[in-house]
Amino acid sequence: MKRIGLSIFIFIFSFQAFAAGEESLLFLSPVPLTKSLLTVKIVKPSSQVNTLEIRNLIGRELQRKTLPLGGEFIQFTDMESYPNGLYVIIAKDANGKILESTKFVISR
C-alpha cells in the first residue's frame, strides 16, 4: 500500500513539472544528496521566492529557510540526520503561495 501511495505522489509531482512546460525555478546540488549539505540556487532571481521548505513524503516540515533579499543561494545543513529516501523542496512567496515544488533523493 505504501508503494502505491509513493508512486501516485511521484507521478503527481512529475506531471505538474511536465505540464507547466516552463524552466525550473530551483536548481539543487548535489543530487542525489550523499553529504550533509544541500545547496539550492534560485535560477530566476526576479522571482518572488521568499522561503524554501524541505518536507518528507508525509508532508512533515523538516527545515525552513528564508532567502536573503537579493540572494540567489540557500544552503541546508545537517542533512545527514535524515534517512535515505525521497524529499520535497517547496518554494513560497512572502504570502505563503507555493511557486514551485521539486523532489530530491537522499542516498548514502
User: Average pLDDT for residues 42-61, to the nearest whole number?
Assistant: 91
| CA distance linking residue 29 with residue 1, whole number of Å | 31
User: Average pLDDT for residues 29-55, to the nearest whole number?
Assistant: 90
What average pLDDT does the chain have? 83
DSSP string across 65-100 = EEPPTT--EEEE--GGGSPSEEEEEEEE-TT--EEE
| CA distance linking residue 21 with residue 102, whole number of Å | 14
The CA distances from residue 56 to 26, 36, 50, 65, in Å, are 18, 16, 20, 16
| CA distance linking residue 80 with residue 37, whole number of Å | 8
pLDDT at 21 over 90: no
Residue owning grid cell 501516485: 8
Catalogue all structural domains in the chain, each as residue range(s) with its CATH number: 23-106 (2.60.40.1930)
Task: Please report the pLDDT score of residue 22 as a whole number.
Answer: 64
* Cell numbers standing for residue 40: 539550492
> Rounded to two decimals, what is the model's pTM?
0.76
pLDDT at 30 over 80: yes
